[in-house]
Amino acid sequence: MRLENVKAGETYMLKVGKNPVQVTVKAVDEKGKITVTTAGGKTITVADAGRLAVHHTNAPQAAKGAMTKAAAPKTTKAASGRDVGQKGAPRGEGKRLGLVDAAIQVMKAAGKPMNCQEVVKAILEQKLWVTEGRTPSATLYSSILREIQKKGAEARFKKVDRGQFALAG
């Protein structure tokens, strides 16, 4: 908005941080500084008229705290066509293998219980997975334990000894 279009007594929207705030212009001085008040009574001086936007007063006002279309509840949605790991979900062409999936592949080929350090060493040698992390074996260990705890009998791994895992079923 241009300074010459700003009029005292009119209502505008002012962006304060990330939030637009409804303000009423009190005065515009000769240096171009605009004094506004918020609905809560706070007085703010605005140096740039470009921060103001026309407020459309013909739209019905929502009660404070009421949800509007812009403030709809946030939900998590998968991008369309994205494999989010559900059973039977298709694997994308050229999709990189995750650490746990690579571990399953290595453990199937070995056919015996292995510890996480052995599994990660084999994964990295076969270039099934790439990392710059310093402790990938600890990451795999916690991932396997988390799966065993959450899925119980349906987990893809079972713990056979201290630090030793085998494929379930």
Q: Identify whether 89 is part of a domain.
A: no
Is 135 among the domain residues?
yes
Indicate if the pLDDT at residue 123 is higher than 90: yes
* DSSP assigned state of 11: E
Which residues partner with 28 through β-bridges? 34
Query: For residue 122, how many other CB atoms are within 10 A of its CB?
Result: 18
Assigned domain for 14 exists: yes
Q: 27 in a domain, yes or no?
A: yes
d(Cα 143, Cα 160) in Å, to the nearest integer?
A: 16
Domain harbouring 15, CATH code: 2.30.30.140
Tens of pLDDT, residues 14-23? 887 778 889 9
The overall pTM is greater than 0.75: no
5 and 25 Cβ atoms separated by less than 8 Å: no
Q: pLDDT tens digits for 78-120? A: 556 555 555 555 555 667 889 999 999 999 999 999 999 999 9
Q: How confident is the model at residue 136 (pLDDT cuts 50, 70, 90)?
A: very high
Q: What is the CATH number of the domain that holds 143?
A: 1.10.10
Say whether both 49 and 107 belong to one domain.
no
> Could you give the angle at which helices 116-125 and 99-110 cross, rounded to 10 degrees?
100
Full domain range(s) for residue 44: 3-54
Report how many domains make up the chain: 2
Residues 5-24, mean pLDDT to the nearest whole number: 85
